[in-house]
Homo-oligomer: A and B are copies of this chain.
Amino acid sequence: MKTKTLVLKPKTAKSAPATPVVIVALEQTQTNLSALAKQLQVKEMRFANEDLLKEFFGVTKDEVTPFVLSNATPEQLGRLILVVDAALVQMGEAELVFHAPAMASPIQNTATGLLEFFRNLPLEPKTVDFQTLTTSASASGEAKGAAKGKPKPKPKAATPAPKAETEATGTAKIGVEASKDVDFPKWYQQVLLRGEMIDYYDVSGCYIIRPWAFYVWKSIQKFFGEAIERMGVEDAYFPMFVSHRMLEQEKDHIEGFAPEVAWVTKAGSSDLEEPIAVRPTSETVIYPYFAKWIRSHRDLPIRINQWSNVVRWEFKNPQPFLRTREFLWQEGHTAHLTQEAAGVEVREILDLYQRVYEELLAVPVIPGIKSEREKFAGSLYTTTVEGYIPATGRGIQGGTSHCLGQNFSKMFNVVVEDPSAKPEERGSEEEARKLHVWQNSWGLSTRTIGVMVMVHGDNKGLVMPPRVSSVQVVVIPCGLTVKTTPEERRVVCDGVQSVVNKLQAVGVRARADLRENYTPGYKFNHWELRGVPLRLEIGPKDLRSQTTLAVRRDTGSKQPIALSDLTTLVPTLLETIQGDMFRRAKENRDRNLKVVTRWEDFVPTLNSKAIILMPWCHEIACEESIKERSARSDESDEPEDEKAPSMGAKSLCIPFEQPAEPKIIFGETLCVGCGIPAKSYGLFGRSY
């Protein structure tokens, strides 16, 4: 990896002593000098003249490498600022090349070696991330290039630097530094940002979903979209704006959303006659049309789905994917003649949600029914799939499928004539023979992506399940050194490309990383951070033996694969990885799914990051009391926030699949929460 060493001199008063700035950076790094000057709080910097180089280091400009620093006196070094490129620090054991024009042969060293050299000097090197610097600098009116370009005023601010990342400026940012076990919130933020899943945005609570993450959503759209199409669900699109009148049609339902509704009150410079809401969900938008479109029981079932954005202006701490002010989801809205038909669909959809998590995202979930306290406002009952985040020990609602019963159809007067009424009854008294339809609604959001990241990611970054990974296999040329001839290099690159072509031909999403200025080690880190499931390494030796070394992202295990077996073994291996990821996640979840039969064990079990199955009475009062009694407000000084682990547990669901042992005997088994007879096992946990 080539490097460059720049010696600069910030403007100072003529009489003041020089305070040089020395930059050691990868050759390709864009070292934005005006932005750097700002960050270092020095004045405009120019390249140092020959005198300064002579005075400080005893060299000409054609002899500058970082190692000339050892020629300076301690006093000189005390005045000097040494800046090291964060991207270079990242290189670790990779070979770095230091080459000044006047040198016969370059100096080679590793980043580790270089940093060791700096440590022995009496100065403190500053690590600078020029990537961030460039952006934030361009955002704040730098005046570079004045020599050549026209002196055009730059825009006041371009990319917003969100608070969290501003703090990180000046530290290396290519890998993940935070440990998943030690500082999970920071780990989550880093893995999403540096794994290129999201970027921050200057409207609070909104995030950019970058292609790497959006591909996961596309995979879900494809799987779920095709499945519901086969069920007879049709896609449509309803406006995102809702009039005040429509929104407030169903009072109970809107009560929960009202505090979070965003209102448009102006267009251009005119005030609107009345404010218009941005949909937080579409029940009140869609159901008046059900009333209009459903003319007869023969029109049933009617099944509508839309993929859309919704807005809930939450005032709690936002978290990418998990709690955002705008998010993407699908919302299904259906109407049926009978409760039974509606009920069947509720479960069909929930099964699909479970399959999205388990078969696509390799995340185990527990399907069940929500308690009365936790069900959707206005629904008859809510079914849910509940995930588990091992790192925090918290449950997370994965997706919900509601049976709305006849509540909304009564509000919106969605009726049909009763087809079972006898003809003679219909003629004479037809108005009384109307049936209100049975309705469902169901939704799955981009939260799925956050859950996937939290469950699988590790301290190297993302770990993507193969089925939803934009790139499933990355193929990297290895074993090329300075001694490799261009011809040998070409042969290896052709070999890499040929492997990619073969894999693509059998439907594997493979990509070659043929970038020239990066070491294999850098590329390994790059793709590990992004979680690509499988890496294939190909060097001259591999080509001679007609094999490639396959390295799994999930386990790090390595195995050689004969090139002739690639097209059969790689697809199988990807499916093995997918299966193993699910199995491990499930084992982990199962280890932390504890049956509790005595209240004394409840809080300690929660505190061990487990979720709990316990005999339960299903009573709202009991659930509220459990939440209160399991909060740890006295044990820590953390803020009273849903995010803090001190919060109390709530019921996640009443699982459809109940533990076989110990059996609940009604009247005998007592509720762990309150001691009255238990109805079934309930799943409890701290949750998102």
Which residues from chain A sit less than 8 Å from chain B, CB to CB? 4, 6, 28, 30-34, 47, 101, 131, 134-135, 138-139, 144-145, 147-149, 152, 154-160, 199, 201-203, 206-211, 214-215, 217-218, 234-243, 245-246, 249-250, 258-269, 275-276, 278, 287-289, 291-292, 295-296, 298, 304, 308-309, 313, 325-326, 328, 410-413, 417, 424, 427-432, 434, 470, 515, 517
- Asked, given contacts A31-B430, A410-B152, A431-B33, whether A241 binds B276 with beta carbons under 8 Å apart, the answer is no
Closest to A210 in B: B236
A144 to B47 CA separation, bound complex (whole angstroms): 88
CB distance from A557 to the nearest CB of B (A): 30
Q: Once the chains bind, are A289 and B159 in contact (CB under 8 Å)? A: yes
CB distance from A536 to the nearest CB of B (A): 21
Report which residue of A214, A236, A258 has the largest number of chain B beta carbons within 10 angstroms of its beta carbon. A236
Contact of A215 among B32, B235, B276 (CB under 8 A): B235
A412 to B139 CA separation, bound complex (whole angstroms): 8
- What are 9 A-B contacts defined by CB distance under 8 Å? A131-B292, A138-B412, A147-B432, A199-B289, A208-B289, A210-B236, A241-B325, A262-B267, A298-B515
Q: Once the chains bind, are B276 and A203 in contact (CB under 8 Å)? A: yes
Q: Which chain B residues lie closer than 8 Å to A424 at the CB level?
A: 101
Q: Which chain B residues lie closer than 8 Å to A159 at the CB level?
A: 288-289, 291-292
A521 to B55 CA separation, bound complex (whole angstroms): 101
Q: Once the chains bind, are B264 and A263 in contact (CB under 8 Å)? A: yes
Q: Which chain B residues lie closer than 8 Å to A298 at the CB level?
A: 28, 515, 517
A214 to B236 CA separation, bound complex (whole angstroms): 5
Contact of A267 among B134, B145, B263 (CB under 8 A): B263
A525 to B157 CA separation, bound complex (whole angstroms): 60
Q: Which chain B residues lie closer than 8 Å to A417 at the CB level?
A: 28, 30
Q: Which chain B residues lie closer than 8 Å to A236 at the CB level?
A: 208-211, 214
Q: Which chain B residues lie closer than 8 Å to A258 at the CB level?
A: 268
Q: Once the chains bind, are A267 and B260 in contact (CB under 8 Å)? A: yes
Q: Which chain B residues lie closer than 8 Å to A28 at the CB level?
A: 296, 298, 417
Contact of A296 among B30, B31, B202, B430 (CB under 8 A): B30
Q: Which chain B residues lie closer than 8 Å to A313 at the CB level?
A: 267-268
CB distance from A228 to the nearest CB of B (A): 12
Q: Which chain B residues lie closer than 8 Å to A288 at the CB level?
A: 139, 158-160
- Asked, given contacts A202-B245, A313-B267, whether A208 binds B239 with beta carbons under 8 Å apart, the answer is yes
Q: Once the chains bind, are B47 and A428 in contact (CB under 8 Å)? A: yes
Q: Which chain B residues lie closer than 8 Å to A215 at the CB level?
A: 234-235
Q: Once the chains bind, are A413 and B245 in contact (CB under 8 Å)? A: no
A260 to B268 CA separation, bound complex (whole angstroms): 5
Q: Which chain B residues lie closer than 8 Å to A260 at the CB level?
A: 267-268
- Asked, given contacts A203-B242, A262-B266, A265-B266, whether A431 binds B145 with beta carbons under 8 Å apart, the answer is yes
Q: Once the chains bind, are B264 and A268 in contact (CB under 8 Å)? A: no
Q: Which chain B residues lie closer than 8 Å to A47 at the CB level?
A: 428
Q: Which chain B residues lie closer than 8 Å to A328 at the CB level?
A: 237
CB distance from A104 to the nearest CB of B (A): 18
Closest to A259 in B: B268
